Structure 1
Amino acid sequence: MKTLEMMTNVEKAGVLFDLFPAEIPELLDAIQGMCQAVREDEDGHRRAWNNGFLNWNLWIALLSEAEGKIRRYKNKMAKNKRLFADQLFDGYVVIYTVHCLTSYAPTRQLANRKFTVAVDLLFNP
């Protein structure tokens, strides 16, 4: 097995899926919910945007990409590690997906607290 530092985001997502397959459907729902929340108040989010790394239009493009992939593949992603990891953790969309993942895990009262620990270990620097 590769060291954590040598793993790609796709590989890390695969490990997360392997360890916690029951958590994936709820995670996908949460990402969709985050997309919807931004869409419902896009002007408010745009005004509050203060990320110097990404401009708002790129953020919305990443959100749209994640949203479209989940809408298209959600049921299959919940059951297929490769599809889940390849679609949401490869390319630039990973920026949005990891944001959602690292926001979701510590703020929810998840039944499996180890999921939160694994997210922190795998995706927080």
Structure 2
Amino acid sequence: MKSINQYRNIEKARTLHQLFPNEMKGFIAFAKAHAEETIEQKDKLAENWDSQPFQFNFWLQLAEEVAKKTKFYNRKLVTNSKLFSEQLFDGYLAIYTNNCFDLYAKHPDCPAKFKQAIVLFILP
């Protein structure tokens, strides 16, 4: 068995999905809404983006990709851990979706046990 530090983003996301299948609908809805909000408020966000580690256009592209994939795959992301992890946590897209996990863990709608799992599996 691998240690948690040896897991890739896709493996972490898939494991989290398998352990908490009932929490995925809430997380995916949150990630989709966050991506759509990023897109809708792009002008305001771009103005205040000064010291972020990425260029805003890159962040916006990631948000657009999450919005597109959550809209296209919709319910399949909720029920299929492989699809969920491979579509939302592959490559650079994991930067955005891991940030969504971080934000969701701080949200009042996030169940306590799921928050603990996010902290353990996703957050450094």
Q: TM-score range by the shorter chain?
A: over 0.9
Aligned partners of 2:30, 2:51: CA distance in 1, in Å?
22
Separation of aligned partners in 1, 2:12 and 2:74: 19
Q: How far is the alpha carbon of 1:67 from its aligned partner?
A: 1.1
Cα distance in structure 2, aligned partners of 1:89 and 1:72: 16
- Matched residue, 2:66: 66
Q: Report the CA distance between 1:31 and its aligned residue.
A: 0.8
CA RMSD for the aligned pairs? 1.2
Matched letter for residue 119 of structure 1? I
Q: Could you say which residue in structure 2 is the equivalent of 1:32?
A: 32
Q: State the alpha-carbon separation in 1 of the partners of residues 19 and 66 from structure 2.
A: 22
Q: Helix, strand or coil for the counterpart of 1:78? A: helix
Distance 1:51 1:81 in 2: 35
Q: Which consecutive unaligned segments of at least 5 residues does structure 2 have?
A: none
Query: What is the Cα deviation at residue 98 of structure 1?
Result: 0.5
Residue of structure 2 in register with 1:16 after alignment: 16
Q: Hey, what does 2:116 align to over in structure 1?
A: 117
Structure 1 position 53, deviation (Å)? 2.1
Larger displacement relative to structure 2 (35-44 or 83-92): 35-44
SS of residue in 2 equivalent to 1:50: coil
- Residues of 1 paired with 2:69 and 2:80: CA distance? 14
Instruction: Give the Cα separation in 2 of the matches to 1:103 and 1:62.
Output: 16
Identity %: 33
Matches of 1:38 and 1:52, distance apart in 2: 15
Q: Deviations over 1:16-45 (max 9, x none)?
A: 111110010111110111112222221111
Counterpart check, 1:77 vs 2:67: no
- 2:46, 2:78 → 1: CA distance? 31
In the TM superposition, residue 51 of structure 1 has moved relative to its aligned partner by 4.1
Residues 39 and 63, structure 2, Cα contact 8 Å, conserved in 1: no
After the TM superposition, list the runs of 4 or more consecutive aligned residues in structure 1 that deviate by more than 6 angstroms.
Answer: none
- Deviation of 1:108 after TM superposition, in Å, equals 2.2
Which runs of 5 or more structure 1 residues have no equivalent in the other structure? none
Amino acid at match of 1:55: Q
- How far, CA to CA, are the matches of 2:30 and 2:81 in structure 1? 18
CA distance in 1: counterparts of 2:63 and 2:51, whole angstroms: 15
